[in-house]
Amino acid sequence: MKVLKFGGTSVGSAQRMKDVAKLITGERNIVVLSAMSGTTNSLVEISDYLYKKNPDGANEVINKLAQKYYGHIEELYSTDEYKQKAKELIKHHFDHIRTFTKDLFTLFEEKVVLAQGELISTGMMNLYLNECGVNSVLIPALDYMRTDKNAEPDPVYIKEKLIKLLDEHKDADLFITQGYICRNAYGEIDNLQRGGSDYSASLIGAAIGAEEIQIWTDIDGMHNNDPRVVEKTSPVRHLHFEEAAELAYFGAKILHPTCILPAKLNNIPVRLLNTMQPEAPGTMISNMTEKGKIKAVAAKDNITSIKIKSGRMLLATGFLRKVFEIFENYQTPIDMVTTSEVGVSVTIDNRKHLDEIVDDLKKYGTVSVDENMVIVCVVGDLEWDNVGFEARIVQALKDVPVRMISYGGSNYNVSLLVKASDKTRALQALSDHLFNNKA
Ligand code: ADP
Ligand code: ASP
Ligand code: MG
């Protein structure tokens, strides 16, 4: 059995839904769907109005969104019977959203509102397949996808519940389920964070021991650089799990950063495929490495670097511990670290407690902060005995000021910190030198 996940653009219109239906019929797989593109953003906007106690603003967005869905229904279904069923489905979910315009609005209600996008898209797809004569069965994610008290998915619960649900439908041709949404440890509706449908797919894949997890999106696989920023990027055919995880963590939006771990732990290959071009080979992610090859570049925005310089650091045991403890006290993860005899530089992307952190660090040395920075991450099989890759990276960036360089934490990446204003030319220069044979 395979798990096939389709993102928002892949189900973004009636025509796209019809195209997806063709791709998913024929094999008894589990299909995970996101909300139709733009929907989750609209639900966030509705919630924002409700937090601000502006029900009129919320209703305006709700009505516009509902109208869009009624339009999709006319286009998607051909019989009156299914048009009617789909209208009832849409009405049910929008009536539910409207109930929140009348009362107190908290984080709890917001999670319920945000869940409606995936509930609608999967309901619509399931009805469409049924209209086409396919015996597809809707498996509600809220009945098996669950996080624990630490807000981490609970794999034992997920496996037990999901397998039971699948066993109840032995005659099903195909299963449809929602990405992104789940229940938390208290049984309340929750989600796996924005973009989290990829995570749903890999958790499901791990739970059923899938033969493969396919992430279908609007591009032909992982490109060797960010196609939104750089000219002439091309798809990478193979990635190791670690390489894919580094790229996802450092900004390659095609994959949610959490998606790789469950697949890697269970050694399930992940394939990235293009819904608009289904015959393209896409990217295969597995435990295979390609010796000595630089694969791709990604960039993570909104980074702040903090340098602590201390004359007393020389030979001082415990200095790094004290520095790291301050970040831990403020629940602020560190991304990059570089050290010298007299100081240490770190980067963070969560600035919530920056002032307190800087204040506390001043006990141990002179502190300076650089904001609006970007981590550029070069990924591949970069084991230290593969000579020359550092030279190629540094040569590519010879005209770009680099604030920090980090290598050796893993065999898979070199990270460099540059100013946000230098991001585009840094990424372009790396593509030109590493992949496009420009001197
Ligand atoms: P979905 O809605 O299917 O989850 P996303 O928008 O989350 O799709 O991810 C696909 C997008 O990721 C692409 O359209 C592309 O613009 C962007 N992207 C960023 N970096 C990369 C990369 N290195 N390779 C491929 N796509 C990338
Ligand atoms: N619909 C959710 C979002 O837009 C989850 C996802 O698409 O992965 O973030
Ligand atoms: Mg996505």
Judge whether 396 and 429 are in contact, CB under 8 Å: yes
pLDDT at 341 over 90: no
Q: Is the pLDDT at 165 greater than 80, yes or no?
A: yes
Compare 320 and 224 and report the one with higher pLDDT.
224
pTM for the structure as a whole: 0.95
Number of other residues whose CB lies within 10 A of the CB of residue 27: 10
List, for residues 229-252, the tens digit of each pLDDT value.
999 999 999 999 999 999 999 999
For 203, the enclosing helix (H) or strand (E) is: helix 197-208
Per residue in 139-164, pLDDT tens? 999 999 999 999 999 999 999 999 99
Ligand 2-lining residues (CB < 6 angstroms): 7-8, 34-35, 40, 117, 179-180, 194-197
Residue 51 CB burial class (10 angstroms; 0-12, 13-18, ≥19): middle
* Statement: residue 313 has pLDDT above 80: no
**Structure confidence at residue 317 (pLDDT):** 77
- Mean pLDDT (the chain) is 96
Q: Quick one: which of 379, 382, 416 has its CA closest to 400? A: 416
Q: Specify the pLDDT at position 439.
A: 61
Atom of ligand 1 nearest to the CA of 247: 23
Residue 253 host element (H or E):
none
Cα angle value 120/31/177 (rounded, 5°): 40
- What is the model's pLDDT at position 148? 97
CA-CA distance, 397 to 146, in Å (whole number)? 45
Please check whether residue 259 is in contact with residue 215, taking contact to mean a CB–CB distance below 8 angstroms.
yes
Gap from CA of 115 to ligand 2 centroid (Å): 10
Strand order in the sheet with 212-217: 136-139, 174-178, 30-33, 2-6, 212-217, 270-274, 283-286, 238-240
- At 336 the three-state DSSP class reads coil
pLDDT digits (tens, 9 = 90+) for 175-207: 999 999 999 999 999 999 999 999 999 999 999
Q: 6, 119, 194: which to mutate for ligand 2, most atoms within 8 A of CB?
A: 194
Write out the DSSP string of 85-151.
HHHHHHHHHHHHHHHTTSS---HHHHHHHHHHHHHHHHHHHHHHHHHTT--EEEE-GGGT-BB-TTS
SS3 29: coil
Q: Tell me the ligand closest to 252's alpha carbon.
A: 1
* Pairing mode, strands 294-309 and 343-348: antiparallel
Q: Which two structure tokens, joined as six digits, stand for 266?
A: 């269970």
Mean pLDDT, range 306-332, rounded to an integer: 86
| Residue 318's pLDDT band (cuts 50, 70, 90) | confident
> Rounded to the nearest whole angstrom, what is the distance from the C-alpha of residue 195 to the centroid of ligand 3?
5
Q: How far apart are CA 214 and CA 149, in angstroms?
A: 29
Atom of ligand 2 at shortest range from CA of 197:
8
Enumerate the H helices of 289-364 as residue ranges.
Answer: 319-329, 354-361
Residue 234's SS3 state is coil
Report whether 47 contacts 55 (CB < 8 A): no
- What is the phi-psi region of residue 287: left when phi exceeds 0, alpha when psi lies from -120 to 50, beta otherwise? alpha
Helix axes 389-396, 423-430, angle to 10 degrees: 140
Q: pLDDT class for 415, splitting at 50, 70, 90?
A: very high
Q: At 63, phi and psi to the nearest 5?
A: -65, -40
Centre of ligand 1 to C-alpha 387, Å, is 32
- Burial state string for 329-357 with b = 16 or more CB within 10 A and e = fewer than 16: eeebeebbebeeeebbbbbbeeeebbeeb
Say yes or no to pLDDT of 315 above 70: no
Place 209 in a pLDDT band, splitting at 50, 70 and 90.
Answer: very high
Q: pLDDT at residue 314 above 60?
A: no
186 within 8 A of 150, measured Cβ to Cβ: no
